[in-house]
Amino acid sequence: MESNCRPIGIFDSGAGGLTVLLELLKILPNERYIYFADTANCPYGSKPAQTITELSEKITNFLLRQQCKMVVVACNTATAAAIDKLRASYRVPFIGMEPAIKPASQNTKTKSIGVLATAGTFKGRLYIETSRKYATDVNVCYQVGEGLVELVEGGMANSPDAESLLRKYIVPMMDCNIDHLVLGCTHYPFLRPLIEKIVTADVTIVDPAPAVALQTKRVAEQNGLTCHEKNNTKQVQVDFYSSGNTYVLRSLVENYINPCIQVYATYHDDVSL
CA distance 93 to 72: 9
Q: How large is the average pLDDT for residues 258-262?
A: 93
**Taking the domain 3-97+210-268, which CATH number applies?**
3.40.50.1860
| Active-site residue, from 42, 141, 185, 227 | 185
Q: Which amino acid is at 11?
A: F
Tens digit of each residue's pLDDT (9 = 90 or more) over 147-191: 999 999 999 999 999 999 999 999 999 999 999 999 999 999 999
Q: Tell me whether residue 80 is exposed, middle or buried, using C-beta atoms within 10 angstroms of its C-beta: 0 to 12, 13 to 18, 19 or more.
A: buried
CA distance 41 to 52: 9
Q: Which amino acid is at 260?
A: C
pTM: 0.94
Candidates 75, 103, 123, 124; CA nearest to 180 is 103
CA distance 258 to 264: 10
% residues pLDDT > 90 (the chain): 87
pLDDT > 60? residue 1: no
The CA-based angle 262-264-269, given to 5 degrees, is 125
Confidence band, pLDDT 50/70/90 cuts, at residue 127: confident
Confidence band, pLDDT 50/70/90 cuts, at residue 18: very high
Q: What's residue 229's pLDDT?
A: 80
Q: What's residue 137's pLDDT?
A: 93
What is residue 125's DSSP assignment? H
CATH fold, domain 101-207, is: Rossmann fold (3.40.50)
Q: Which amino acid is at 81?
A: A
Confidence band, pLDDT 50/70/90 cuts, at residue 251: very high
Q: What's residue 236's pLDDT?
A: 92
| Active-site residue, from 75, 176, 227, 260 | 75
Residue 185 annotated to the active site:
yes
CA distance 150 to 157: 9
Q: What's residue 2's pLDDT?
A: 58
Q: What's residue 225's pLDDT?
A: 95
Q: Tell me whether residue 127 is exposed, middle or buried, using C-beta atoms within 10 angstroms of its C-beta: 0 to 12, 13 to 18, 19 or more.
A: buried
Residue 75 annotated to the active site:
yes
How do the domains of the chain map onto residue ranges? 3-97+210-268, 101-207
Confidence band, pLDDT 50/70/90 cuts, at residue 255: very high
Residues 6+ positions from 38 with CB-CB distance below 8 Å: 11, 12, 13, 14, 44, 55, 59, 242, 243
Residues 6+ positions from 210 with CB-CB distance below 8 Å: 23
Tens digit of each residue's pLDDT (9 = 90 or more) over 213-246: 999 999 999 999 999 887 767 789 999 999 999 9
CA distance 223 to 235: 26
DSSP H helices, 66-186, are: 76-89, 101-107, 119-123, 125-134, 148-153, 160-175
Mean pLDDT of the chain: 94
Confidence band, pLDDT 50/70/90 cuts, at residue 3: low
Q: Is the distance from CB of 17 to CB of 36 less than 8 angstroms?
A: no
CA distance 127 to 81: 11
Fold matches, 3-97+210-268 and 101-207: yes
